[in-house]
A and B are shown apart, each in its own frame.
Chain A
């Protein structure tokens, strides 16, 4: 207790340098914790993007490319799947549900997905959580749209608002069909996945906005080729018609089976499908492959933050060592009142532990402050939902590791002080 009191008062006496050292450690702790939290949460929100889907089927391309285009809305599929193939495969034995997906159109830079009502029923994210509505309901008519949580949030849309959907990707599309407004009938609860950034419309409406009921166009394609649009088309007649229609092509489709046993068999059949070059992927497996590709970045980030922590501890070592020479008199006074060399050793060790410990506490506080400030930004810009929870056992372990490292670094000046106090004795040379 006496030594802790002495160490504290001695540190307070050297406030400026002690605080600076403490602050350096705090910042490095904050950095390490933030990087780790973002990394872990990115990984989980990444693998939480889709679940409960057994297969994703699209035109033949790379596994990862198909995953990116169908689930993450990144890049776009060059080819689609013909409606015929979709219908054939969805009628196979064991198929419980099939959700067609038609991507390629956008609204103010946000993806528009043409699909059927099964989407709201069977699509799952995270731990098999279904989509649920914050307000309203699924679409029942052709020109109705269901918004992802973020779409409604950032664009300020409410139920009953009318939304214009453009053909093609990007903010400035070639065609803005002001005469084809969609009515907002539902807003989904936030999921922390790309669903939040998506506008869902009936599959048949994709055809409608391209004005191609005669099937002479390729409506679901992502490219922005100039189409011969029929603007005078009267779409009221479709309001009570089926919402799927018979498009020529869709971008991809999701399959769910009665039993997972069908998955591998159907997958093999699809990959060997004669009539069209198709690819079926298991989302879980491909997500893992994708994450492994990204793991080098992840490891470099971790490495950097560890190096920052080490540098901050070396900073502490420097400041403790340089103060030691000025403190030889202090140590000799302690020796004269009967402090043994190991008391001196403990005193300096306690100092380094105090600095590291306080650094960890302040760093953790800064970390939470940063998380609170940055959570919204990360959610809206990177789609990573941060979990502002208590420290996980992994994070506590990180803090413990920093404490141990701080203690070990502190042994160096402590040992030095030990030998000073043996050599100096009662004669202090300054």
Chain B
């Protein structure tokens, strides 16, 4: 499902130590993985590699049976649009779109995700609304200006955007760091529900190890990096 083989990444050629050095990583379909490590250990870089925004200097990243590092730039963009839902740490939403429009944006660059969304609902807007309701945002909130939503509500809209059109892989980059402890757990549980419903693989990055217990599998990036300290 997700396989990394001898992946090495340097921002520039003369960098003495690679930012990322992962000899091997395998994640199965439908797994909920907790990826943790101290800040500066290369988490964001790894996520950029997994999302296909940057390509490794060496090695292969195989997603859904495809070595995405061998695809052209535009094919990688299309791959991301079709198969990956991404949740940022905070400020996930476009302020000038309504929550519904923010969610539908998630499948507007991909025919495949639009078709997936239409399997569940009559229109993509209806599917967006269904997901938002499932994530606990009522009708009134769904049409409010984004700026009037709380951070927790905004993160749920971001989650709905990642889930719309059932992409195979959901990447969440510290999505709970702006939430309080109680909300964090609730938010993670909502993510699990949706990921399970769509049989999506969830990669959840955080330095907050209290959440670790909720996950079936936990990976330390520091250990993954072959024990080398990648901080630079």
Residues of A at the B interface (CB closer than 8 Å) are 2, 6, 9-10, 12-13, 329-330, 332-341, 343, 425-428
* Listed A/B pairs (16) with beta-carbon separation below 8 Å: A12-B96, A329-B91, A335-B53, A336-B51, A336-B86, A337-B86, A337-B105, A338-B78, A340-B73, A340-B78, A341-B77, A343-B109, A425-B48, A427-B44, A427-B47, A428-B88
Q: Which chain B residues border A335 with CB–CB below 8 Å?
A: 53, 77
Question: Contact at A9–B96, with CB atoms within 8 Å?
Answer: yes
A337-B92 contact in complex given A343-B109, A426-B53, C-beta closer than 8 Å = no
Asked if B173 is at the interface of the complex by the 8 Å CB criterion, the answer is yes
Taking A333-B92, A338-B77, A426-B48 as given, write out 8 further A-B residue pairs in contact, using a Cβ cutoff of 8 Å, ordered by the A residue number.
Answer: A336-B51, A336-B80, A336-B88, A337-B86, A337-B105, A338-B80, A426-B44, A427-B44
CA gap between A338 and B113 in the complex, in Å: 11
**Cross-chain contact A2 with B77 (CB below 8 angstroms):** no
Which chain B residues (14-63) contact chain A, with CB distance < 8 Å? 44-45, 47-48, 51, 53-54
Which of A9, A12, A337 has the most B CB atoms < 10 Å from its CB? A337
A427/B48 in contact, CB under 8 A:
yes
Is B149 close to A, CB under 8 A? no
Given A338-B80, A426-B53; A333-B93 close (CB under 8 Å): yes
Instruction: Collect the chain A residues with CB atoms within 8 Å of residue B77's CB.
Output: 335, 338-341
User: A13, B96: Cβ atoms under 8 Å?
Assistant: yes
Contact A338/B82 with A333-B94, A343-B109 known, Cβ cut-off 8 Å: yes
The CA-CA distance from A6 to B96 in the complex, in Å, is 9
Report B's interface with A, CB cutoff 8 A: 44-45, 47-48, 51, 53-54, 73-74, 77-78, 80-82, 86, 88, 91-97, 105-106, 108-110, 161, 173
Count of chain A to chain B residue pairs whose CB atoms are closer than 8 Å in the complex: 67
Secondary structure of the A side of the interface? helix
Nearest-CB distance from A338 to chain B (Å)?
A: 2
Which residues on the B side are within 8 Å of A334 (C-beta)? 94, 105
C-alpha gap A341/B77 in the complex (Å): 9
Q: For the complex, give the distance between the alpha carbons of A334 and B73 in Å.
A: 16
Check A425/B95 contact, CB under 8 A, given A337-B108, A338-B109, A338-B110. no
Option from B51, B74, B78 in Cβ contact (under 8 Å) with A426 = B51
Min CB gap B168→A, angstroms: 14
In the complex, what distance in Å separates the CA atom of A339 from the CA atom of B173? 19
For the complex, what is the distance from the CA of A119 to the CA of B78, rounded to whole Å? 81
- Give Cα A341 to B44, complex, Å: 20
Going nearest first, the 10 A-B pairs with the smallest beta carbon separation are A338-B81, A338-B109, A13-B96, A425-B53, A336-B86, A340-B77, A9-B96, A427-B44, A425-B48, A426-B48
**List of A residues within 8 angstroms of B173 by Cβ:** 426
Q: Which B residues are CB-close (under 8 A) to A340? A: 73-74, 77-78, 109
- Chain B residue numbers with a CB within 8 Å of A337 are 81, 86, 105-106, 108-109, 161
CB pair A10 B81 closer than 8 Å: no
A348 nearest CB across to chain B (Å): 15
In the complex, A336→B106 CA distance in Å? Answer: 9
A413 to B157, CA, bound (A): 30
A residues near B81, Cβ cutoff 8 Å: 337-339
Minimum CB–CB distance from B83 to chain A (whole Å) comes to: 9
- B82 contact set on A, CB distance < 8 A: 338
Nearest A-chain residue to B102, judged by Cβ = A333
CB-defined contacts of B97 to chain A, threshold 8 Å:
9
In whole angstroms, how far apart are the Cα atoms of A332 and B48 in the complex? 11
CA of A339 to CA of B97, assembled, Å: 16
Query: Smallest CB-CB separation from A339: which chain B residue?
Result: B109
Find the A residue at minimum CB distance from B158: A333
A contact residues around B73 at 8 Å (CB)? 340-341
Which residues on the A side are within 8 Å of B95 (C-beta)? Answer: 13
Which residues on the B side are within 8 Å of A426 (C-beta)? Answer: 44, 47-48, 51, 53, 86, 88, 173
Q: Which residue of A lies closest to B83 (CB)?
A: A338
Query: Which residues of the other chain, B, contact A12 by a CB distance below 8 angstroms?
Result: 96
How many angstroms from the CA of A427 to the CA of B92 in the assembled complex? 12
Closest to A2 in B: B108
Which residues of B sit under 8 angstroms from A329, Cβ to Cβ?
91
